[in-house]
Amino acid sequence: MTIIRQIRPAVTLFICLSILTGLLYPLGMTALSNLLMPHEAQGSLLTSEGKIVGSQLIGQNFIQPRYFHGRLSATSGPNPLDPSKSGPLPYNAAASAGSNLGPTSRALVDRVSETVAGLKAENPEAIAAGWKIPADLVTTSASGLDPDISPEAAYFQVQRIARVRHLSEGSVRALIDRMIARPLMGWLGEPHVNVLELNIALDGLQ
Amino acid sequence: MSITGWATIAFFLLCVVAITRPIGGFLKRVLEGETHFLGRIFGPLERSFYRLAGIRPDEGQSWTQYAFSVLVFKIACFLAVYGILRLQTHLPLNPMGQGAVAPDLAYNTAISFLTNTNWQSYSGETTMRHLSQMLAFTAQNFVSAAAGIAIAAAVIRGFARRSAGTIGNFWADLVRTTLYILLPACVLLTLFFVFEGVPQTLSGSATALTIEGAHQSIALGPVASQEAIKMLGTNGGGFFNTNSAHPFENPSALTNFVQMLCIFALGAGLTNMFGRMVGKERQGWAIFSAMVALFLVGVSVLYWSEAHSNPALAALGIDPSFGNMEGKETRFGIAASALFATVTTDASCGAVNAMHESFLALGGMVPLVNMMLGEVIFGGVGSGLYGFLLFAIIAVFMAGLMVGRTPEYLGKKIESREIKMTMLAVLCLPLVMLGFTALAIVIKPGLAALSATGPHGFTEALYAYTSAAANNGSAFAGLTANPFWNITLGVGMMIGRFFVIIPVLAIAGSMAAKKISVPTPGTFPTDTGLFIGLVMGVILIVGGLTFLPALALGPIVEHLAMLRGSLF
């Protein structure tokens, strides 16, 4: 009997609380957020000449040598040439993913050595100058969408960018200096550079 | 390891200490039905809920009635969530056109959310529609958290009341916690998160033409509103697959800090509410101190581990000063990732801002051990406190055995019935964690889901069942759940929730009925350093004896293999 008597409050309160917290709350917050902070509520999208070029918060897959490169990304998705097949699709912001490779994974070590070889070939000046390879450039981020790199990873690419774009190394380095986001109050968070914003600023240099 | 990293950890701890007392005070006002300023705003709504439900909030329930109410409510939640997921194609608000969820996945997910585990065998942005995310998940995040706090309040009443037959009213506890604590806090948190960049929109995605000329489809949704309750209610189920590592869920170091604080806020506040309700705040601070000590051990080991680079990668000419950056986000770095991983598994949150599977072997062991200890270091909202009280009962029992006196806790005699119930709750967790792991690693469907081989693959399986039974929800996420895993993990989550809740309510019922005896010089005080040390010892010994062999087969042997340079 006790159980039967519990059914009415269980069902009623389930419905009331679900409507309140599952509909009114998220919909109300959506309305309020879009009224007060439409840019952020819509995903902090960046536009250029009326077209969306990306989100400030979401990394992009930069492969051309004339742009700064970001972290590795382990996301996958439909093959752009043949959508029926699925395969690696870095910075697929429709399906975030990490590599989930553990510390003793052979696949991890193979992947990193391949990346190291690529970075050495692409940035011979930095290697010749005795740079050790910044770890964030050879590792995948947790989300696969990391928008940032460390200042070291940006400086590591200075000479390549300067060479490809016929800029002075000093001007590229000064641009990075300007774009570094410092930790809050000097200690909360890590210094980092947003790669998309850095590359947009880089295009503006010429 | 860096000074700024330690400063972050120290400042975090300071903030937790600072919020404990105010939150504890307010929790007590709400759950004891006292007057408070929010009552003037939401009071009419609260009373109309009671009228519709046909209940009287001041009508006390015996422990069996209270437990029945919890169970019947959970059954209603299960049926509704299962139904929404199975039928999501026929419901509105589906901008991305997602299909129905498969039966085993819907069953797993429904249990996962109603038990406050939020294990996610699916990837949010590719599987779930906005309506499912809101009506099924956001709502369950609220009520499962509220139910946890309600049960903790009932258990505390058991200790606080004398010669009483009732331990409160579940329906009133549920409604009050949701209306006065969770909802107002989440409204403020949502606005803060949106301000920092977390999206809150009904559109499904935006398409960008990148500056290199590629198309990028960016998943969006009502993220901020779910993010708020996900952290505050220690639920941990992310809107996106990669949870709080996704820049849209956790865009900055500041949101990361606030999210970690939210995870501990109510668990810490409940220790203070406990102290206030049993009549001596020091009793709450004693529990708080034991929790802080265990937290510090965990975060120190994890930070130390991750500040090292993987020797196999350092050998390739990579700068080792960065630490282990695989599976971590640049804006958080090592310290904030280590702190987050500790906090999320001390509590039963399960949100992640870094991929636990990619931690170094000993680093990955810390979250695992935190969950194996029963998530009693602040713990899930409510569940952390009543889980801790089980260990406190064992501690005073052992102290009683040592001096040959009937053990007492807060003036209540601990007798054979309470010890039996405590042991039932304490033993059912390892049974699920170790039993299912043993099964999964010897049968084909179990092995088929693992992404790693060697000791790391074993740890992947152990982590999954540990996370399920402890109602955490974080994962070594390389695991791809199949029907075998979805079903066994679902069973594990249910046992982990209800085989603790029911014994703990039984203890509350029998404690409430007891008299409170006057302390004598021979009474073992439970607000001193001796008690704190004893209860920590009990937690570590019970956990160590149970899990050390399994840990030796997984992370410990992997650590040795890593030092030796073996790869799998």
DSSP string, B319-377: -GGG---TT--TTTHHHHHHHHHHHHHHTT----SS-GGGS-HHHHHHHHHHHHTTS-S
Least reliable range by pLDDT among B16-25, B99-108, B248-257, B274-283: B99-108
Closest residue to A101, CB basis, from B251, B326, B336: B326
Measure B396 CA to nearest chain A CA, in Å: 35
Asked if the Cβ–Cβ distance from A53 to B208 is below 8 Å, we say yes
Residue B54 has pLDDT above 90, yes or no: yes
Task: Round the average pLDDT of chain A to a whole number and report it.
Answer: 94
Closest residue to A142, CB basis, from B69, B126, B327: B327
Residue B380 has pLDDT above 80, yes or no: yes
Q: Residue B208: beta bridge partners?
A: B216
Query: How many Å apart are CA A77 and CA A86, to the nearest integer?
Result: 5
First to last CA, chain B: 28
Contact between B543 and B369 under an 8 Å Cβ cutoff? The reply is yes
Q: Which of A40, A45, A25, A32 is nearest to B195 (CA)?
A: A40
Tell me: do B115 and B249 sit in the same domain.
Answer: yes
As a whole number of Å, the CA-based R_g of chain A is 23
Confidence of residue A48 (pLDDT cuts 50, 70, 90): confident
Contacts of B562 in chain A (CB under 8 A): 103-104
Q: Is B214 an interface residue toward A (CB < 8 Å)?
A: yes
Q: Which of B148, B298, B156 is nearest to B233 (CA)?
A: B148
Query: How many Å apart are CA B396 and CA B418, to the nearest integer?
Result: 12
Confidence of residue A198 (pLDDT cuts 50, 70, 90): very high
Residue A158 has pLDDT above 60, yes or no: yes
Q: So where are chain A's domains?
A: 1-38, 44-204
Q: Is A81 an interface residue toward B (CB < 8 Å)?
A: no
Residue A1 has pLDDT above 60, yes or no: no
In tens, the pLDDT along B296-350 reads 999 999 999 999 999 999 999 999 999 999 999 999 999 999 999 999 999 999 9
Closest residue to B247, CB basis, from A14, A27, A57: A57
Q: Is B222 an interface residue toward A (CB < 8 Å)?
A: yes
Residue A67 has pLDDT above 60, yes or no: yes
Contact between B513 and B165 under an 8 Å Cβ cutoff? The reply is yes
> Residue B129 — φ and ψ, nearest 5°?
-85, 165
pLDDT score, position A206: 67
Contact between B186 and B418 under an 8 Å Cβ cutoff? The reply is no
Residue A128 has pLDDT above 60, yes or no: yes
pLDDT score, position B448: 94
SS3 content of chain A, % helix, strand, coil (to 5): 50, 15, 40
pLDDT score, position B297: 96
Query: How many Å apart are CA B29 and CA B244, to the nearest integer?
Result: 32
Residues 31-50 in A contacting B (C-alpha not used; CB under 8 Å):
32-34, 36-37, 40-45
First to last CA, chain A: 80
Q: Is A142 an interface residue toward B (CB < 8 Å)?
A: yes
Q: Which residue's structure tokens are 């972290």?
A: A71
Closest residue to A136, CB basis, from B7, B322, B567: B322
Stretch B95-111: mean pLDDT, rounded? 84
For residue A11, how many other CB atoms are within 10 A of its CB?
16
Handedness of CA A70, B260, B196, B133 (dihedral sign): positive
Q: Which pairs count as long-range contacts for A118-122, CB under 8 Å and 24+ apart, including other chains?
A: A122/A65, A122/A160
Q: What percentage of chain B carries pLDDT values higher than 90? A: 86
Q: Residue B318: beta bridge partners?
A: A133
Asked if the Cβ–Cβ distance from B174 to A13 is below 8 Å, we say yes
Most B CBs within 10 Å, among A23, A72, A96, A137, to test the B interface: A96
pLDDT score, position B112: 92
Asked if the Cβ–Cβ distance from A98 to B357 is below 8 Å, we say yes
Tell me: do B433 and B556 sit in the same domain.
Answer: yes
Q: Which of B520, B521, B523 is nearest to B531 (CA)?
A: B523
In tens, the pLDDT along B68-90 reads 999 999 999 999 999 988 988 77
Least reliable range by pLDDT among A74-88, A183-197, B157-171: A74-88
Confidence of residue A28 (pLDDT cuts 50, 70, 90): very high
In tens, the pLDDT along B247-273 reads 999 999 999 999 999 999 999 999 999
Q: Which of B177, B144, B229 is nearest to B493 (CA)?
A: B144
Q: Which residue's structure tokens are 């509909």?
A: A23
If DSSP codes are grouped into helix, strand and coil, which group holds residue B517?
A: coil
Asked if the Cβ–Cβ distance from B330 to A62 is below 8 Å, we say no
Contacts of A2 in chain B (CB under 8 A): 64-65, 68
Stretch B93-115: mean pLDDT, rounded? 83
In tens, the pLDDT along B180-206 reads 999 999 999 999 999 999 999 998 899
Residue A185 has pLDDT above 80, yes or no: yes
Contacts of B202 in chain A (CB under 8 A): 30
pLDDT score, position B405: 86
Cα-to-chain-centroid distance, residue B448: 28
Last residue of a domain, one of B278, B296, B318: B278
pLDDT score, position A5: 83
Closest residue to A100, CB basis, from B49, B330, B357: B357
Largest CA distance in chain B: 79
Asked if the Cβ–Cβ distance from B248 to A23 is below 8 Å, we say no
Query: How many Å apart are CA A31 and CA A21, to the nearest integer?
Result: 15
pLDDT score, position A79: 80
Asked if the Cβ–Cβ distance from B211 to A53 is below 8 Å, we say yes
Query: How many Å apart are CA B23 and CA B34, to the nearest integer?
Result: 15
Closest-CA residue of A relative to B96 is A94
Tell me: do B518 and B385 sit in the same domain.
Answer: yes
| Alpha-carbon distances, residue A112 vs A135, A137, A153, B218 (angstroms) | 10, 10, 15, 27
Measure B163 CA to nearest chain A CA, in Å: 23
In tens, the pLDDT along B128-147 reads 778 888 888 899 999 999 99
In tens, the pLDDT along B476-493 reads 988 998 999 999 999 999
Residue A126 has pLDDT above 80, yes or no: yes
Residues 6+ apart with CB under 8 A from A88: A74, A75, A76
For residue A36, how many other CB atoms are within 10 A of its CB?
12
Residues 372-431 in B contacting A (C-alpha not used; CB under 8 Å):
none
Tell me if B442 is assigned to some domain: yes
Q: Supply B20's token pair.
A: 């404990």
Measure B504 CA to nearest chain A CA, in Å: 20
- What total of structural domains would you count in chain B? 2
Looking at residue B356, its amino acid is H
Q: Is A71 an interface residue toward B (CB < 8 Å)?
A: yes
* Per-residue exposure over B28-64, b if at least 16 CB sit within 10 Å of its own CB, e if not: bbbbeeeeeebbeebeeebeebbeebebebeebbbbe
Q: Is A162 an interface residue toward B (CB < 8 Å)?
A: no
Q: Supply B29's token pair.
A: 């006002």
Q: Residue B339: beta bridge partners?
A: none
In tens, the pLDDT along B206-257 reads 999 999 999 999 999 999 999 999 999 999 988 999 999 999 999 999 999 9
In tens, the pLDDT along B441-478 reads 999 999 999 999 999 999 999 999 999 999 999 999 88
Asked if the Cβ–Cβ distance from A26 to B222 is below 8 Å, we say yes
Looking at residue A24, its amino acid is L
Asked if the Cβ–Cβ distance from A14 to B73 is below 8 Å, we say yes
pLDDT score, position B110: 92
If DSSP codes are grouped into helix, strand and coil, which group holds residue B222?
A: strand
pLDDT score, position B96: 66
Complex ipTM: 0.96
Query: How many Å apart are CA A199 and CA B471, to the nearest integer?
Result: 43
Looking at residue A189, its amino acid is G
Q: Is A191 an interface residue toward B (CB < 8 Å)?
A: no
Q: Which of B410, B406, B370 is nearest to B531 (CA)?
A: B410
Looking at residue B115, its amino acid is T
Query: How many Å apart are CA A18 and CA B249, to the nearest integer?
Result: 23
Query: How many Å apart are CA B291 and CA B384, to the nearest integer?
Result: 10
Contact between B524 and B393 under an 8 Å Cβ cutoff? The reply is no
Q: Is A90 an interface residue toward B (CB < 8 Å)?
A: no
Residue B99 has pLDDT above 80, yes or no: no
Helices (H), B197-252: 223-232
**Model confidence, pTM:** 0.96
Residue A81 has pLDDT above 80, yes or no: no
pLDDT score, position A2: 65
Task: Round the average pLDDT of chain B to a whole number and report it.
Answer: 93
The H or E element that residue B394 is part of is helix B383-403
Residue B227's domain comprises: 3-204+216-278
DSSP B32: T
pLDDT score, position B330: 97
Query: How many Å apart are CA A31 and CA A25, to the nearest integer?
Result: 10
Looking at residue B79, its amino acid is L
Q: Which of B257, B531, B262, B268 is nearest to B378 (CA)?
A: B268
Stretch B171-182: mean pLDDT, rounded? 97
pLDDT score, position B94: 67
Tell me: do B410 and B272 sit in the same domain.
Answer: no
Query: How many Å apart are CA B421 and CA B507, to the nearest integer?
Result: 7
Query: How many Å apart are CA B454 and CA B561, to the nearest integer?
Result: 10
pLDDT score, position B136: 86
